Amino acid sequence: MTKTGILFLLTCSALNYATSVVGNNVQRADDACADPSLAVTFVQAYSTTLTSHNVNYRADFVQADTIGTIDWQIQGEIFRAWKTPQPGTVSLYRMSIDTLASDVILAVSTTVNPPVVPGFPTNFGVVAYVYPTQVCGSVPLYQLGFSAKTDHWYTTDASERDALVGFGWTNQGVIAYVLPLCDCCQGGGWAKRNVRAGQCMSVHPLH
């Protein structure tokens, strides 16, 4: 066999090995991530009666407004997460200072037991399943508190967080990692997610 033929065979073998390694790594990364197509959108609502914000999926607030007595006013979508356990996720609970949900906070539990949060003894159960660390294209979910009104607010927008801090709210840090509202939000640019690799890549709008 000529040197050219040997070189060709060696090159092909190297490429096949590299493809196999990359494919296996990508598959492992994919298996460790929850399926984004199963995620649902969560919204934030406000009650003027309770002076309190709350987080749930839209249908729950619609039902509560129709048959209940609390005036939940939906103020917008904030993140995507899962309603059932998924690979790599943990439970996100809603905890309150009372049974009326006069002040609700979100807290993660990495065990089968609800979290214990001082001052928030009422457990409203699991509202979502989220990531405990920033993986699989997730983003931080920030918690802010406003002690003068015993209220809390949640956002994935760092600039919104900073604006509220400027208004007197307290930045209480990251409580969980969730999916953004769009698969890849890059400052309004066109992008789509390479789900297996957990990355975003810019593409043409028509692609």
**What confidence tens digit (pLDDT) does each residue in 102-156 have?**
999 999 999 999 999 999 999 999 999 999 999 999 999 999 999 999 999 999 9
pLDDT grade for 183, boundaries at 50, 70 and 90? confident
Distances (CA, A) of 201 to 27, 115, 138: 19, 37, 15
**Cα-atom radius of gyration of the chain, to the nearest Å?**
22
Q: What is the largest CA-CA distance in the chain?
A: 85
Kindly report the pTM of this predicted structure: 0.74
Residues 40-56 have a mean pLDDT of: 95
54 touches 44 (CB < 8 A): yes
Contact criterion met (CB below 8 Å) for 198 and 157:
no
